[in-house]
Amino acid sequence: MVTIYYIVSSITFLQFYIPLVIEATRLGYKNTFIVRLNYKMYANPLSRTNIVTLNFYLKKYNIQQILYNEVDIKNIKGVVFTIDGDIYGPPREILLIGNLLFPLDPAKTLKISMTEHMNFMSSYHAYIDKVDYCIFSNKHFLQQFESDNDTVEISGDYTLTRDKSFNNSKNLFLGNTKFDNIPSEKEIYAKYNLNPAKKYCLFLFPKERNHFTSEHILNIYSHLKRLGFTIIVKSRPKDKPINLNLRGDVYVNGEFYPNDSVSLMKISRLCIISSSSANEETVFSKIPCIDLISDLRKYERNQYLLDDKIYTRIENDEWKNMSFKKFISVIKKMERKNSNYFDTIKEKYLFTHKNTSAKIFEYIKQNHNVFLHLEN
């Protein structure tokens, strides 16, 4: 039986890989995770905590595992998936040690990289020559980096220059697998022990920074409570633990499969983010989104989605002590959850298909079918 391979250097990659595993299994292929160490312990799939999670999914979806030190990577044949070129973070020397993409034999493998959030920005030019394709959710996602200027400052330590353009024929715009197989509302309510009769707001908790305090967050919570919302606070395992009084009515801390944020957006009526690229997720989920700016760097993520009807930003100095009157005036301008207006935006700026994994395998079959028949 032909095997599909997946390079697993972070436990967070499960949300992208499991949908592909499900589709590959449906098509009659075996699935094998090639698992390696990650020096960032929160992401390391072989850490004491994460290996329990990994083994759960390996068993549930009948996935074979090969450890990085037990395989001759040059002998692998067939389709190999990776995330951001198997570079977890900026392409510093320490992050390139143990990279499993680079040693793959280009004659024997079809190498496909997908992207995790905005992390590809600093690593793309280090791996694009090593892959056959790089998959993005939509063309607008990359067009936001185009500029008439010689440089675009992405962050304090990364500047995009003309010789580092993201315009490449290897880019494919097929969607994003993390949006596949999102559970039904009934399943989501049961999983998180939520009451379908309540009105939920999903609050994606911001990364800790020096220019806002707990009081500023609690002020926003108080406005949401006055509007009748039950607050679901979602944080990430890699961020610092947040105080108990900031955890809202329901607290969720996870980042595996299926995607927690997208699942919770499905049953919420409002989403609040903070300088996050999750506004793409809110468009997919057809939920109005308020962005409380907390990252004061010049580059703004997914600028192309700005639209006061569905996604509006409130600057840092504005939201920290915002009055209830001002806050509700912002919400009144926005579309309601699942309004038809979201359909137009999704079609224009995202995608409308239901299963990205199926589209990826269909593309491989039509253009590189030989790699779906190579047996190791």
User: Distance (Å, rounded) from C-alpha 274 to C-alpha 259?
Assistant: 18
Name the pLDDT band for 256 (thresholds 50, 70, 90). Answer: confident
**Which CATH number covers residue 114?**
3.40.50
Cβ pair 280, 302 in contact under 8 A: yes
Q: Are the C-beta atoms of 194 and 282 separated by less than 8 Å?
A: no
144 and 209 belong to one structural domain: no
Q: What is the mean pLDDT of residues 35-52?
A: 93
Mean pLDDT of 10-24: 97
For CA atoms 193, 199, 205, 210, give the dihedral sign. negative
Mean pLDDT, residues 337-344 taken together:
96
Domain, as residue range, for 310:
185-349
Collapsed DSSP state (helix, strand, coil) of residue 335: coil
Q: What is the DSSP letter of 318?
A: H
pTM listed for this prediction: 0.93
Tell me, yes or no, whether 190 and 173 share the same domain.
no
Q: Which ranges in the chain belong to alpha helices (H)?
A: 14-26, 50-60, 93-96, 120-127, 140-143, 185-191, 214-226, 260-267, 279-285, 316-319, 324-332, 340-349, 356-368
Q: Are residues 73 and 143 in the same domain?
A: yes
In degrees and rounded to multiples of 5, residue 345 shows phi and psi of -65, -40
166 lies in the same domain as 246: no
Percent of the chain with pLDDT over 90: 74
Identify whether residues 203 and 157 lie together within a single domain.
no
The predicted pLDDT at position 277 comes to 83
Q: Distance (Å, rounded) from C-alpha 44 to C-alpha 60?
A: 20
232 and 132, same structural domain? no
Q: Check residue 35 and report its DSSP letter.
A: E
Cα-Cα-Cα-Cα dihedral sign, residues 237, 68, 19, 290: positive
Query: How many structural domains is the chain composed of?
Result: 2
Length of the chain: 376
Tell me, yes or no, whether 233 and 290 share the same domain.
yes
* Confidence grade of residue 111 (pLDDT, cut at 50, 70, 90): very high
CATH number at residue 191: 3.40.50.2000
Give the pLDDT of residue 97.
Answer: 74
Tell me the per-residue pLDDT of 209-238, one tens digit each, with 9 for 90 and over: 777 899 999 999 999 999 999 999 999 887
Contact 341, 3 (CB under 8 A): no
Question: Is residue 195 located within the same domain as residue 149?
Answer: no
Q: What gap in Å lies between CA 360 and CA 112, rounded to an integer?
A: 10
In whole numbers, what is the pLDDT of the chain averaged over residues? Answer: 91
151 and 225 inside one domain: no
User: Is there a single domain that holds both residue 193 and residue 342?
Assistant: yes
- For residues 258 and 339, state if they share a domain: yes
Shared domain check, 224 and 144 = no
Rounded distance between C-alpha atoms, residue 139 and residue 132, angstroms = 18
